[in-house]
Structure 1
Amino acid sequence: MAALIPQIPRGVRFAEELRLLRADRGVSLKGLAEELGWDASNFGKMESGRTLGSPEVVEALDQFYGTPGLLLALWELAMADPSQFKERYRRYMMLEAEAASLWHYSVTMPPGLLQVPGYVREALVAGGLKGEELEQQVEARIGRQKMLEEEDAPPFRVILFEAVLHNSLCDPREWRTQLEYLVEASERPNITLHVLPFGSGLHGLENTSVMFLRLSDARTVAYAENDVWGELVEETSRVERLHRTFILRMLEEVPCEPST
């Protein structure tokens, strides 16, 4: 029986290709940074597999090395690898912190940016976290909310499916605190909150929560997730389809009339 050949992880394959291309070109990390305008440490982290980088950097490398589309294809395969979930979410959080405005559609729970500590803790415990990791994640999620409390806080528009307001916590006091916080948050000048009532009809985001980030360079990216899956979406056509569905839900606030 032939021995099985271990499959090289996609991220490792991508990093290896970056190293080989730079070696063939005979350019240093510093020289690459001078040519393309990004920090040399960024390229070093990509070549060592510590980060996959952004599509903009990868496209620039494709052009520099004369490999049209090769590196971008390898990057997309690496990003699609389930083991890269934390990498994709780390990039999302970086983009979230830089966003000029945010829109969110939520199916079952308040967006993380509007959750109180008690809600965060119960949600993370339900997801299997405990001990030190649980405490770190609670602190990290609550810390992200500071961006909405600053003087130059970005506009944040939220659509909550009515189910969000009925999925209560085990602790009634914490649930009341969460509901009161949503009311308080909706009164801030930079936050707009809509509730999509039951009976509003089926639509393209029936089972998926989505956050849209409008970036300073006028691009929009999206992070879509459900109970078992999460994806950072940067491809323009896919983002536009999600965004169009989101806008339609904002316009269609009148429940469907029953057929006669």
Structure 2
Amino acid sequence: MQSMSIPNGPTALRRIIGAELKRLRLAARKAQHEVAELSGIAQNSLSRYESGVSAMSNPVAEKLLTIYGVDEEQQAELLDLVKRSRKRRPKGEAKTAVWEPVEDLIALERDASKILEVAIQPMPGLLQTEAYARAMLGQGKLGADVVEDNVQARLARAAVLGGDNPVGYWVVIHEAVLRCAVGGAETMAEQLAHIAELSKRPNITLQVLPDSAGAHSASAGSFMLLRFPIAPEYGVVYIDYFTGALYLDEPEEVAQYDDAYLHLIKMALSEQASLRFIKKLSQELYS
């Protein structure tokens, strides 16, 4: 299995652009060598653009999109993404204290049209209250300032769930997440009330996977699957671990996580039953 290496946000955008360029070329029934002849762009450069290894200029992107017959509206969207993919942190600007893999995830979440998540432990970052986030992030050896930066960054991520064009978010939360008393009873009561309220939003689907479901396809741990409107056939699986994170985007790998997710939503409680379960558990454990 091959993992997706994303050293920074712009590289993540290049992978999305590359996947869409490849899809458009194949839809136009053209081989790379044909496009190279038509565009005057070296074939090895085209390969690097499609794999997301190299950034391209807007004139090069515009030339390719014209060859592929892309309409003006989609061209404008892709060219904006191309421009953003070349951005770098200004010289002298301080690097954020936020954990580096999360910087990449934030960039992906902003561009996603759909986020599917499975949480085995802890509560998904997009759903955490301030008190819960602070209790989680305060467990390590980070200084108070760094913890605070990370807490505020985690809370800011939730902006994608609201606004005029919120992301579609479908999350399966294991019962163990609800039972683990992070921050104590008061913090957990607030946290469970928060997710119960969020679950009422039309763009959010929340299901609980109870302990009684038994063995399941996410026994290896939590994961997030992101899809993007600009590249509908491209998906990224995000998995974090103690010292870093993995980004998987090989189609065969993504398909396996798609299958695992479909299996889990069938095993999980319905939305209505999940809401009743959350309220009942909160009363039993945290009232």
Q: What is the TM-score normalised by the length of structure 1?
A: 0.65
Query: 2:135 is matched with which residue: 122, 137, 140?
Result: 122
1:23-46 per-residue CA deviation (whole Å, 9 max, x = no partner) reads xxxxxxxxxxxxxxxxxxxxxxx9
Higher relative contact order (CA 8 A, sep 6+): 2
Aligned to 2:236: 221
CA distance in 1, matches of 2:100, 2:44: 24
Give secondary structure in 2 for the equivalent of 1:199: helix
Aligned 1:175-190 pairs, distance under 5 A: 175-190=188-203
2:9·2:107 contact (CA, 8 Å) conserved in 1? no
What residue ranges of structure 2 are gaps of 5+ in the alignment?
22-31, 54-97, 270-287
Partner of 1:55: 15
Give identity over the alignment, percent: 24
**Structure 1 counterpart of 2:204, from 191, 198, 220:** 191
The residue matched to 1:224 in structure 2 has which SS? strand
Contact 1:207 1:226 in 2 (8 A): no
Judged with a 3 Å threshold, the aligned counterparts in structure 2 of structure 1 residues 221 and 72 are, in CA distance, closer, same or farther, namely: same
Matches within 5 A, 1:1-260: 52=11, 54-55=14-15, 64=41, 66-67=43-44, 88-216=101-229, 217-218=231-232, 219-253=234-268
Q: Is the 8 A contact 2:99 2:150 kept in 1?
A: no
2: CA distance, partners of 1:156 / 1:50: 21
TM-score (norm 2): 0.60
Aligned residues of 2:9 and 2:104 also touching (Cα < 8 A): no
- SS of equivalent residue, structure 1 residue 203: coil
Q: Distance in 1 between matches of 2:254 and 2:121?
A: 21
Greater CA drift, 105-114 or 202-211: 202-211
Say which SS state the counterpart of residue 219 (structure 2) adopts: coil
Q: Cα RMSD between the aligned structures?
A: 3.2
1:172-215 Cα shifts (integer Å, max 9, x gaps) = 21111111101111111111110101132323321311111110
**Worse overlay, 199-208 or 119-128:** 199-208
Aligned residues: 198
Deviation of the 1:228 alpha carbon: 4.6
- Name the SS for the 1:126 alignment partner: coil
